[in-house]
Structure formats: C-alpha cells, structure tokens
Chains A and B, each alone.
Chain A
Amino acid sequence: MKKEILNIQHLTVQFGGLTAVNDVAFSIFRNEIVSLIGPNGAGKTTIFNAITGFLKRISGMIQFEGEKVSHLKPHQIAEQGIVRTFQITSLFPNLSVLDNIRTGHHMEEKETFLDAIFNTKRKKRIEEETLAKADQILKFIGLEGKREVIANNLPYGEQRLLEIGIALAARPKLLLLDEPSAGLNDTETQMMKGLIKRMRDLEITILLVEHDMKLVMGISDRILVLNFGKKIASGTPDEIRSNPEVIRAYLGEKR
C-alpha cells in the first residue's frame, strides 16, 4: 500500500508580476524516487524553495505526512523531516569535511546551554554519538579519507558528495536534491546514481530536480514535467518519454 508523504495542492508563487509557479499539484509517496524536470526557468527550484519555507508569499497548500507545513520557516521544515540541497554548491566552506557533517547533525544534538558550559557527561555522550554518526555518513558517501580536509579545498565532485552527506546528517524522511549531477562527469554521475539508490534503500523518499535525462530515466519511479510554471505531465519514465507535450517543451534542450 503506497503511503502518501507529500501532498501539494494549488501551489502558486509570484515574483512581482511574474508567475513562477502556476497552480501546481502533485503527490509524492513513501520510498519513491521522483524527478522534477522541465526547461530552464520552468519553476523547479522555486517549487523546492516553496516546499522548504524559503519563500515568504506562496498560495496553495503543502502537506507533509498529513501535517500542513506551508507556513513554516526553513529550520522548522527541516525539523519535520524535509531536507534539501541547493543548486549552487552550498557548503560550510572553511570547515573540515567532518565538521560540515557534524553541523548537519545539529537537530539531533539536544544539548542545553548548561551542558555546553559545564561539559557534562551528557554533552560528551552527545559528542561521541555525533562523531560516530558523522563517520558513518562519511563512509556512506565515500569521503572517509577526506575527514580533515577543508571543504573549500575539495574537488568539485567531492563537494557535491559532501552536500549530500550534510543533508543526510539531518536525518531526512524526504530529501529534495537540486540538480545533484550538475557539473559532474559520467563516472561521477554514475556514482551519484548509485548513491541515490542506496539512500532510497535507507527508506528515504527522494524528489530531485534534474537536467541529465539519462540519470532521470534510469533512476525515477515517476517523473513530473514542468513548463512555464505549470505541470504539463506526470507518469513513469516510459510514459514521459513518449509524451508529445513533453517532447515539444524540450525541443532544443540538450541531452
């Protein structure tokens, strides 16, 4: 029985006179991998921003696990279990790889102010747990050898992996990946594909925005297609591949 985890109804976002997202509706079910595709400027990242609370004025309804989350602030959305990555490389640049991931784990560290000041046993225990979890994630994304490297100094491909590591540290139920394969070569994209599948194995539901059609077709359970802010198609990769409207929208798009 497929359980609905995210439900979007009548989502509309306007920037001044421009309607970036126009009455969009869709659902995501537990443990799915869903891809959100569409030409540049179709409104995909805007939808991410709307879901994760980064926009002030949106109309419509966003429900997560039955709870209305439309009006929540970004950190509250994360507390609910929705974590996102960003289109442009987004790290804590001057911190080490390990500290980047430890920071991502913040929500789980229930330290009080007094714990911090008096270095209580509780704090020490929390520190140990965080370190263990961080090492676990480092192994999962394949960066255990780079523990102490400063994030800024990582090669681009590894930076993108670290971003996912940080998001994982926040223990997401639903993970929103914004163009995870942007700028990656074929080998790296294959690794990313494997990583996404392994995350689904961890019972994480994944919604991704992507331009790489090979990746999208190869990994998605379902695909949502956006153009000019409107949802124009939704279905399995095979259905989308042969959809005339989709083909028309993409005329001229690479890959």
Chain B
Amino acid sequence: MIFVQYVINGLTIGGAYALIGIGLTMVFGIMGVVNFAHGEMYMLGAYFLFTFFTKMGINFYLSMLLAIAAVMGIGGIYEKAILKPLRRRSIETVMLSMIGFSLFIQNIAMLIWTPVPESITSPFPLTAYTLGGLYFLPQRIMVIFAALFLVLLTHLLLKKTKIGKAMRATFQDLEAASLMGIKIDRIYSFTFVIGVGLAASAGTLLGPIFTVHPYIGNLANLKAFAIVIIGGLGSFTGAITAGFLLGVFESLGAGYVSSGYQDAIGFILLIIILIYRPTGLFGKIGQRR
C-alpha cells in the first residue's frame, strides 16, 4: 500500500518534471541550444508566484498565470538579445555563456529576493483527502492535473496548430523548413518562449510544495537535462515518460532507501542511459560509430 502512496507522490512531482523536460527538449530539439539557464526559469517562476501571490495578495491562479507570463517575457528578451547573436558560435561557447547567465540570474535573484528561503503557502486546505488508505494532498492533486493539462495543451499546439507544424518541420530538417518559407527566427523565439513558460509553470506548481530560494534552479536544471537525455533528445514522449519515471523513482528511492540520495537517482539513471543508450529511450539510434 505504501508502495502505491510513493508512486502517487512520485507522479505529482513527475508531472512537474515532465513540464520542465518538455520545455527543455523542445528548445534542445528545435533550436539545438543547450540552455543551461533553463533551471533558472523554473526558479523565477516560483519567485514570481511568491511575489504576486504571497506578497501582493493577487488571486492564486491569476498569480500563476502572471508568473508564467513574466518569465515568458524575460525568456523572449533573453532569446532575442543573447541566444540569437550566439547562434553561430561553437557549442562550448554557447554552453559556457549559458552557464554564466544562469549564475548571473541566480545572483540577481538573490539580490532581489534575498537568499533567505521563502515558502509559498498553498491556498488549498493542508489536510489530505483519503481514499482507500491513500493520502492525497490537494496541492499535489492540482499539480498533477495542471501538469497533464499543460502537457495536453502543448501536444495540441504541436500537432494541431499551424505554428506547431512549422515547429515540427524545423525540428526535422532546418534547411528544408526554411526553404519552404518558414520564418525560422520567429519559430525559434516562439519555441523558446513556450519552453521557458513550461519551466516557469513547473516552478509555480512545485513552489508551494518545496521552499523557494535562489539556488533551486540548479537542481531543476540538472534534472531537466537528465530527463531530456534519458527520454531522448527532442522527443516529446520521451520527456514526459522520463519526467514521470524520474518522479516515481525518486519517490521510491527516498521512501525505501534514503532521502539524502534522492537527487542522485536522476544522475545515476542519466549515467546508465549515457552508457547503454545515449540516444535515450525514445531517441533514434545512429549509424555512425
């Protein structure tokens, strides 16, 4: 029974992980950018929710939307001002600049919000519902529903809209897409803003569950990369699967083994995948040695 409880808890966190993962895999897959600052967008999402909801008293759901919008705005500027000029540079240069930016954003956040950890009190009742011996915290139920909703929304965006089609075309073959008249610049900006928005949404969802401080982006970042690689670069399904899997494994690990090593589980899974199947669970296996 407790096993099921762990799984359910894991699924809620996994839902948020899936959101971060989808955002990063989209950016990775469509733009070819290794965005080390992705975790910082998660962190900013949580902090903006804190500012709007806890500090300014705005309605919870509205605060969430505002937080996501704020981060998307920042992401949009970031893409135009920084990522675009770096497009021609080597991958090492891009990675290191992204790391520099994530350090910068972390420390600006620290200056604005102070390094003292904050908590966002969930607007939902803090007592859990029980059903068949299992406990369901309202905030966590909201997380899982919101995550599934956003995943569905993103899926519909990619599969059913015109811009989604353009995004998929760009992912498959950049040259062909641009030859067919797709405005690559606009697709890149749009993709990045959506990706960042998903990370921020995960931040708003998990913000009330964990404490908020300027360095939560670090771990979110590394887990996001683990999820993206485990799932397979650019694979939407992969990111979702890996996200939920990681959430569940972490929960089981924390419950049965020890909670201290919980964060190591993602890395261990990552290392295993990198050894045996570097293209990820859903990635394509290449022919080149």
**Which residues of A pack against B, CB within 8 Å?**
13, 15-16, 53-57, 73-74
Which residue of A has the minimal Cβ distance to B286?
A56
A53–B289 CB distance below 8 A: yes
Q: A15-B287, A55-B287, A55-B288 are in contact. List 4 more A-B contacts (CB 8 A).
A: A54-B288, A56-B287, A56-B288, A56-B289
A74 partner residues in chain B, CB cutoff 8 A: 289
Chain B residues 65-97 with CB under 8 Å of chain A are none
Top 10 A-B residue pairs of the complex, sorted by shortest distance between their CB atoms: A56-B289, A55-B287, A15-B287, A56-B287, A54-B289, A57-B287, A54-B288, A73-B289, A56-B288, A74-B289
Quick one: CB contact mask for B28-72 with A, threshold 8 Å, 1 for yes? 000000000000000000000000000000000000000000000
Query: In whole angstroms, what is the CA distance A15 to B289 when docked?
Result: 13
Residues of A within 8 A of B286 (CB): 56
**Alpha-carbon distance A73/B288, docked complex (angstroms):** 11
Closest Cβ of chain A: how far from B283's Cβ, in Å? 13
Contact flags B272-288 to A (C-beta < 8 A → 1, else 0): 00000000000010111
State A57–B286 Cα separation when bound (angstroms). 10
B232 → chain A, closest Cβ, in Å?
15
Shortest distance from the beta carbon of A51 to any chain B beta carbon, whole Å: 14
Instruction: Give chain A's interface secondary structure class.
Output: loop
CA distance A202 to B288 in the complex (A): 33
B interface, size bucket: under 10
Give the interface of B toward A (CB within 8 A): 284, 286-289
Tell me, in angstroms, the Cα distance from A141 to B57 when the chains sit together. 78
Query: Nearest Cβ in chain B — how far from A211, in angstroms?
Result: 22
Chain B residue with Cβ nearest A14 = B287
When distances are taken between beta carbons in the complex, the residues of chain B under 8 Å from A13 are 287
What is the bound-complex CA distance between A16 and B289, given in angstroms?
15
Tell me, in angstroms, the Cα distance from A15 to B286 when the chains sit together. 8
Instruction: Identify 13 residue pairs between A and B in the complex whose beta-carbon atoms are under 8 Å apart, listed by A's number.
Output: A13-B287, A15-B287, A16-B284, A53-B289, A54-B288, A54-B289, A55-B287, A55-B288, A55-B289, A56-B286, A56-B287, A56-B288, A56-B289
Residues of B close to A56: CB separation below 8 A: 286-289
Residues of B close to A16: CB separation below 8 A: 284
| CB-CB nearest in chain A for B289 | A56
Closest to A15 in B: B287
Can you name the residue of chain A whose Cβ is closest to the Cβ of B284?
A16
Q: How far is the CA of A53 from the CA of B284 in the complex (A)?
A: 21
Closest chain B residue to A46 by CB distance?
Answer: B287
When C-beta atoms are compared, the residue in chain B nearest to A20 turns out to be B287
- Which of B284, B286, B287, B289 is packed against the most chain A CB atoms within 10 Å? B287
What is the bound-complex CA distance between A225 and B237, given in angstroms? 44
Cβ-closest chain B residue relative to A54: B289
Which residues of the other chain, A, contact B288 by a CB distance below 8 angstroms?
A: 54-56
List, in ascending order, chain B residues with CB within 8 A of A73's CB: 289
Report chain B residues within 8 Å CB of A53. Answer: 289
A197, B212: Cα distance in complex, Å? 73
C-alpha spacing A56/B289, complex, angstroms:
5
What A residues does B287 contact at CB under 8 A? 13, 15, 55-57
Q: Which residue of A lies closest to B285 (CB)?
A: A56
Closest-CB distance, A1 to chain B (whole angstroms): 37
Please, which residues of chain A bring their CB within 8 A of the CB of B284?
16
Q: A55 to chain B: which residues have CB within 8 Å?
A: 287-289
Q: Which residue of B lies closest to A55 (CB)?
A: B287
A74, B288: Cα distance in complex, Å:
11
Residues of A contacting B289 in the complex (Cβ-Cβ under 8 angstroms): 53-56, 73-74
Bound CA span A73–B289, Å: 8
Q: How far is the CA of A16 from the CA of B288 in the complex (A)?
A: 12
CB of B46 to closest CB in A, whole Å: 42
Question: Which chain B residues lie closer than 8 Å to A57 at the CB level?
Answer: 287
Q: In the bound complex, what is the Cα–Cα distance between A54 and B288 (angstroms)?
A: 6
**Nearest CB of A to B282, in Å:** 15
A54 to B286, CA, bound (A): 12
Give complex CA distance A95, B287 in Å.
30
A15 neighbours in B (Cβ, 8 Å): 287
Q: How far is the CA of A148 from the CA of B17 in the complex (A)?
A: 54
Closest CB in chain A relative to B62 CB, distance in Å:
48
Closest Cβ–Cβ distance, residue B3 to chain A (whole Å): 40
The complex places the Cα of A146 from the Cα of B284 at a distance, in Å, of 44
Most interface-central of B284, B286, B288, B289 (chain A CB within 10 A): B289
Question: In the complex, A57→B288 CA distance in Å?
Answer: 9
CA of A74 to CA of B289, assembled, Å: 9
Query: A74's closest neighbor in chain B, by CB?
Result: B289
Q: A57 to B289, alpha carbons, bound, how many Å?
A: 9
Identify the closest chain B residue to A13 (Cβ): B287
Q: Compute how far the CA of A31 lies from the CA of B287 in the bound complex, rounded to whole angstroms.
A: 32
Shortest distance between the CB of B288 and any CB in chain A (Å): 7
Complex Cα distance, B115 from A19, in Å, reads: 59
CA distance A10 to B284 in the complex (A): 26
Question: CA–CA, A55 to B287, complex, Å?
Answer: 6
